[in-house]
Amino acid sequence: MSELITTPRRATFRAMSEGTLEDWQIIRSIEPEEPLAETLLAQLRRIGEVECGFAVDRTTHSLQTATRAERAGRSDDYVLAALLHDIGDTLGPANHSEVAGAILRPHLPEDLHWMVKHHGEFQLYYFGHHTGQGRDVRDRHAGHPHYDLTAEFCEEYDQRSFDPDYPTEPIAHFEPLVREKIR
């Protein structure tokens, strides 16, 4: 008995402008193999595998940032933003904040999306003078409604989260939050 091999249905157009309703129904009916929450959790693990030179790897830094925010009583959305704020580190090192912001935009309120998107510029306050980028890059956003939120995030959570001795929650602790918020 031979096995029946089926080929998935595919759209027939060669340019989007030629697409039909049936083509788009086929495309929309195919679910991603992995839900976005699982992809982001895998990426969170992956960023820790890349040598970065910090006292802790990037995964630990992200977990530590989220742990600090959670222990301070921040909202679930804030903790999610803290956990995934550097998710773009290996995907777009030169603009990791913008990458993370783009990924998280549909899943965060506007203020936290802005915070994630711009935190890289605000972090330069702590080291930009050592790298020739300047400390005052964040000043271009002075007066923005989310400036203070972002400055506080960097001061209280992000820039402090490179401590190998800080008792940090594991990824498993945050997995339910990610699966609940990222759909």
pLDDT (0 to 100) of residue 32: 66
Name the pTM for this structure: 0.87
pLDDT score of 2 more than 60: no
Q: What is the distance between the alpha carbons of residues 20 and 96, in angstroms, rounded to a whole number?
A: 37
Q: Which residues contact 138 (CB under 8 A, 6 or more apart)?
A: 118, 121, 122, 124, 125, 147, 150, 151
pLDDT (0 to 100) of residue 30: 80
pLDDT (0 to 100) of residue 9: 84
Q: Span 57-84, mean pLDDT?
A: 98
Cα-trace Rg, the chain: 20
Q: Span 8-36, mean pLDDT?
A: 86
Average the pLDDT over each of 30-34, 61-65, 89-93, 143-147 and give the range with the smallest value. 30-34
pLDDT (0 to 100) of residue 29: 83
* Domains detected in the chain: 36-181 (1.10.3210.10)
User: 126: how many CB neighbours lie within 10 A of its CB?
Assistant: 14
pLDDT score of 42 more than 90: yes
Residue with the larger pLDDT of the pair 154 and 35 = 154
